[in-house]
Amino acid sequence: MSFRVLGTGSYAPPKVVTNDDLSQFLDTSDDWIRQRVGVKERHFSVNETAADMAAKAASTAIENSGVNPEEIDLILLATISGESQVPSTACMVQGLLGLNCMALEVNAACSAFDFALETVAGYFARGKVRKALVIGAERMSRILDFTDRGTAVIFGDGAGALVLEAGENYIDSVFYVQGDDEVIGCGLPVGNSPYYERGQEKKPLAYMDGQATFKFAVNAIVNDCNELVRRNGLTYDDIAYIVPHQANMRIIDFASRKLKVPMEKFSVNIDRFGNTSSASIPMMLDELNRAGKLKRGDLLLLPAFGGGLASACCLLKW
């Protein structure tokens, strides 16, 4: 027993920031960002927290599912950009939604939505929950270094959510972790213990070695998708859509060519939202669902990759 999807929702804050807007204070250009990343605009929070965005995406997913909110037994939230370590952003979302259920958080950076799906599958397998909310929500603008053109132009804010119930539609998954804080990271403030040696502080803003991440990402998509297709006796003709983490249009393009799977099979909205980290896959799923593009029984691959370093891919039947 695993789960099936009953409804989807998403939310992006109303402020739209174009590449030209960023060029006002960064040494960059609309041309460079479109060509090297594939982003035309992104949404940035002015005052909404990751929890606020998560709650809005979750509310629309609950509405879309037709489920009575009282039936939801678990909120599982993927995020790296909450306001506090305590309470967790997941607890804040539970409070905002007024639900009486357990809430916990998964941190696996941009791959975290897949890690959250895997975690929730365990709860369903044990018969512990009837309905669950799985959410990816990021206020990336909170942890971005807006003086660093290598990261500030890529990311955006937003949230996506799924309502799940027990079922058999979570078919298979792969996960890979290669612990490393050189390639991608974001520190936390160090406390004021009088016993600490100095110099331990890591910048509490996101940093990334773009090229190393790019290579890791392309290999991750290719290896993880191939592994799931092979071991489930499928071909890419059996897959309705590949819904990848929206990190960079060129990463998706490279993966498409390496896999010899046409770009039409890849769902993409990075041009309008940028890279929303753990929110990108559920936001894309909601867009596909609301556009009526997903049919019951469609097979989807959800490859994700990023900080950790970590990568993951889920094979999901709609």
Distance from C-alpha of 247 to C-alpha of 293, rounded to nearest angstrom: 22
77 or 80, CB closer to ligand UT7? 80
Binding mask 113-132 for ligand UT7 (x = CB under 6 A): --------------------
Q: Does 19 bind ligand UT7 (CB under 6 A)?
A: no
Q: Give SS3 for 265.
A: helix
The active-site residue out of 186, 245, 289, 314 is 245
Q: Does 149 bind ligand UT7 (CB under 6 A)?
A: yes
Residue 313 appears among annotated catalytic residues: no
At residue 191, what are phi and psi to the nearest 5 degrees?
-70, -170
Q: Which residue has the tokens 């290896």?
A: 223
The active-site residue out of 275, 289, 313, 314 is 275
* Spatial contact of 210 and 32, defined as CB atoms under 8 Å apart: no
* Residue from 154, 163, 225, 239 binding ligand UT7 (CB under 6 A): 154
Residue 186 appears among annotated catalytic residues: no
Q: Does 32 bind ligand UT7 (CB under 6 A)?
A: yes
Q: Does 211 bind ligand UT7 (CB under 6 A)?
A: yes
Identity of the amino acid at 241:
Y
Distance from C-alpha of 45 to C-alpha of 25, rounded to nearest angstrom: 18
* Residue from 53, 103, 217, 242 binding ligand UT7 (CB under 6 A): 217
* Spatial contact of 222 and 255, defined as CB atoms under 8 Å apart: yes
| Full 3-state SS string of 117-136 | HHHHHHHHHCCCCCEEEEEE
Q: Does 40 bind ligand UT7 (CB under 6 A)?
A: no
Residue 275 appears among annotated catalytic residues: yes
Within positions 173 to 202, which residues make up the interface with ligand UT7, using CB under 6 A? Answer: none
Q: Which residues contact 161 (CB under 8 A, 6 or more apart)?
A: 8, 9, 10, 54, 57, 58, 60, 61, 133, 134, 135, 136, 282, 286
Q: Which stretch binds ligand UT7 (CB under 6 A): 32-40, 198-206, 230-238, 262-270?
A: 32-40
Q: Does 275 bind ligand UT7 (CB under 6 A)?
A: yes
Q: Does 317 bind ligand UT7 (CB under 6 A)?
A: no
Distance from C-alpha of 9 to C-alpha of 27, rounded to nearest angstrom: 36
For the annotated catalytic residues, the residue numbers are 110, 245, 275
